[in-house]
């Protein structure tokens, strides 16, 4: 699992390396909205944003929708660790599939470690 994308080449390289190392990169459904928003905020150019988005999509990211049950678990994790629902969704997914979590977010990393999830910075 990976939380957020900052819209720069370093993050694109980071995502690529995770996928290459593990063979699989799972994200919650809202990931694509977050990525697109970050890319668009950086560029403010629809065509450039679309091109960047295609580059991210080519990495091989898979969406894992845990449904309502996943959202219920996400709510509990958000409350327990004082996270946004968006961030807690990454935590819930990592916990649900017994995976690792890649994040630059310190609060999310602390919550993941408290849940026994390996964090990749």
CATH classification of the domain holding 40 = 3.40.50.1010
Q: Give the predicted TM-score (pTM) of the model.
A: 0.81
Report if residue 15 sits inside a domain: yes
Q: Is the predicted pLDDT of residue 107 greater than 50, yes or no? A: yes
Report if residue 109 sits inside a domain: yes
For residues 67 and 13, give the distance between their C-alpha atoms in angstroms, rounded to a whole number: 30
Q: Is the predicted pLDDT of residue 63 greater than 60, yes or no? A: yes
DSSP-assigned letter for residue 59: T
Q: Vertex 29, ends 46 and 57: CA angle to 5°?
A: 50
Each residue of 36-49: pLDDT tens digit? 888 888 878 899 88
For residues 42 and 33, give the distance between their C-alpha atoms in angstroms, rounded to a whole number: 14
Each residue of 12-58: pLDDT tens digit? 677 777 777 666 789 999 999 988 888 888 878 899 889 888 888 88
């Amino acid at each position: 699992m990976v939380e957020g994308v900052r819209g720069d080449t370093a993050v694109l390289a980071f995502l690529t390396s995770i996928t290459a190392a593990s063979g699989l990169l799972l994200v919650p459904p809202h990931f694509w909205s977050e990525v697109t928003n970050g890319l668009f905020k950086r560029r403010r150019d629809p065509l450039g944003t679309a091109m960047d988005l295609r580059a991210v999509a080519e990495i091989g990211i898979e969406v894992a929708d845990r449904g309502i049950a996943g959202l219920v678990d996400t709510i509990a994790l958000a409350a327990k660790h004082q996270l946004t629902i968006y961030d807690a969704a990454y935590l819930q997914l990592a916990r649900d599939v017994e995976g690792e979590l890649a994040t630059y977010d310190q609060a999310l990393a602390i919550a993941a470690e408290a849940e026994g999830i390996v964090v990749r910075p």
